[in-house]
Amino acid sequence: MTESTPERQPDRLIKVQTADGEREVDIYSPEGFAVVANLWTRSNWQRKLSYEVTWLGIPIIQLPEDILMVQELVWKNRPDVIVESGVAHGGALILYASLCDLMGRGRVIGVDIEIRKYNRLAIESHPASRRITLIEGSSTEASTMASIRSRIQPGESVMVMLDSNHTRDHVRAELELYAPLIGPGGYIVVFDEVMPLVADAPNGKPTWDLDNPLEAVRDFLKTHPDFEVDSSYERMTTTYCHSGFLRRTVPAS
Ligand SMILES: C[S@@+](CC[C@H](N)C(=O)[O-])C[C@H]1O[C@@H](n2cnc3c(N)ncnc32)[C@H](O)[C@@H]1O
């Protein structure tokens, strides 16, 4: 067998810019894999790949790798209630509800500032809809929180998915409001931390460099030591949820 060294396969070496200048990285090294994943993420953002996916017939605006990871998380964690902020067409709500159907347990609450008529119709007429409650309103409004809380019974375990307005301030406010719903061992998933990575991509915006959910997560973790990043759900490497799977720690007994 021919030995596969970088010298024999020059296309396995890619040039990267670092603070110390340009250097070559082997795509088969862990560093090279991360570089390729970042390049692919930036390129797919420009192609709006996450708008191409449906779940059981309903558009779901997620990266396929993140859908897989969230599926693992829900199956493993088996929450009584999943709250999603930011419904859009409803594909993720249907994903969570279909998992609940297979697990034989769980309900889903979807919150959106505007639930369009045809989206509501598609969600409410879907076979998985019996598990779903829709709430129209801003995710940070007191009335929305009251409506969510009224649908959760004492002692029920809750998982929260934050995928609405992706500004730093909004996500930071959501984290503060929704974190108290999470019990020890429970999770909040924050979507679209990819924004700083694609700020200078063709469909990105320079302001995303600092105004993004990742900054909100960093701020939140500084004052909430009872939450930690579970990076095992980032192992696909291509993800829009960098540092986005937040687990509430279980106090030592
Ligand atoms: C990225 S989409 C959600 C995608 C959806 N989670 C999915 O997986 O298909 C963002 C949604 O957030 C909603 N949104 C924006 N600001 C909001 C707010 N303040 N409160 C609740 N929803 C909001 C928008 O109307 C939009 O439908």
Ligand 1 contact, 144 CB (< 6 A)? no
Three-state DSSP state, 59: strand
Structure confidence at residue 11 (pLDDT): 85
Sign of the dihedral defined by the CA atoms of residues 248, 215, 232, 199, in that order = positive
Local structure of residue 209 (DSSP, 8 states) = G
Ligand 1 centroid to residue 213 C-alpha, Å: 13
**Exposed / middle / buried, residue 4 (Cβ in 10 Å: 0-12, 13-18, 19+):** exposed
CB atoms within 10 A of CB 103: 12
**Structural domains of the chain in order of their starting residue, each with its CATH number:** 10-47 (no CATH), 54-248 (3.40.50.150)
Instruction: List, for the chain, all residue ranges whose pLDDT scores fall below the cut of 70.
Output: 1-4, 6-7
Ligand 1 centroid to residue 212 C-alpha, Å: 15
Tokens of 234: 């980032």
CA–CA gap between residue 123 and residue 38 (Å, rounded): 34
Structure confidence at residue 2 (pLDDT): 55
Structure confidence at residue 19 (pLDDT): 86
Ligand 1 centroid to residue 80 C-alpha, Å: 22
Structure confidence at residue 121 (pLDDT): 98
CA–CA gap between residue 31 and residue 66 (Å, rounded): 21
Query: Which residue among 89, 136, 165 is best mutated to probe the pocket of ligand 1, counting the most ligand atoms within 8 A of its Cβ?
Result: 165
Structure confidence at residue 141 (pLDDT): 98
Three-state DSSP state, 249: coil
| pTM as predicted | 0.95
Query: Which residue among 113, 145, 166, 203 is best mutated to probe the pocket of ligand 1, counting the most ligand atoms within 8 A of its Cβ?
Result: 113
Query: Which residue among 54, 68, 112 is best mutated to probe the pocket of ligand 1, counting the most ligand atoms within 8 A of its Cβ?
Result: 112
Sign of the dihedral defined by the CA atoms of residues 215, 213, 155, 138, in that order = positive
At 169, the amino acid letter reads: D
